[in-house]
Amino acid sequence: MVAQTKETIPALLLKNISRDMVMAIEEAVIVGAQRAHAAAKGMDDGHLPSVVGQLRHFHINETFQHALAANDASPSPIRGNTIVTGRAGIFTLARFNIKDGLWVNGRRSKTRRQMSLANMAIEPLVQPGLFGDYQSPSEAVAFFVACFAGSLKTQPDAPTSIQIAVPDQRMEGWLFKESIEAFAKRYDQKPETQNDLAVPKLKKDVGKRQGKDGTTQ
């Protein structure tokens, strides 16, 4: 029989990643994107999308790394195209950029696919009937994904949304993904509690005094 658990992926994220870190990463992505757009000014329209795309990668990598460092997340050093990662509790944190709707592009990185293998341990939280008994994981991976409009004429200097996303072990689907804006609201939600409606009742005759001879009075 499969063991039941009340643990969820959002709960694991909230438990391991602080609100301050989430907010710092959101700001870092926005600032990095703005710097990339500013740095691309004056480039020829013929290759502007490619230039902006590359500059976003480098600038957001830098601001992401700084946000991780500011929140004691032990960021990896910046080295060329190497993916920058950090650590928050059981989660390894990383990031990437996509055009709106093209989530499959996240799989292009062999490193990201290898990282995602760790999420085999949390897949039972989404599909418990397929994976047997669930054990609380010691390793998992989450990505911060900046989604950009396909055209630079539409919000060219900022992402249309920033998502926190947890892939399955093959990075072929998403166990959980939600905008940072929506996810941040979860920190303010109190866990559900059940009111105790039980009313204690005294047993019959309890409370009557007893005389010295043991008889009730």
Q: Which strands form 174-179's sheet, in the order they lie side by side?
A: 86-88, 91-99, 140-148, 161-167, 174-179
- 22-36, 37-51, 57-71, range with the lowest pLDDT: 37-51
pLDDT band at 129 (very low <50, low <70, confident <90, very high): low
What per-residue confidence (pLDDT) applies to 203?
Answer: 47
What's the whole-model pTM score? 0.82
DSSP H or E stretch at residue 15: helix 9-16
pLDDT band at 138 (very low <50, low <70, confident <90, very high): very high
DSSP H or E stretch at residue 95: strand 91-99
Q: For residue range 182-212, what is the model confidence (pLDDT) as tens digits?
A: 999 999 986 544 444 444 444 455 445 445 4
Question: pLDDT > 70: what percent of the chain?
Answer: 82
Q: Which residue has the higher pLDDT, 22 or 158?
A: 22
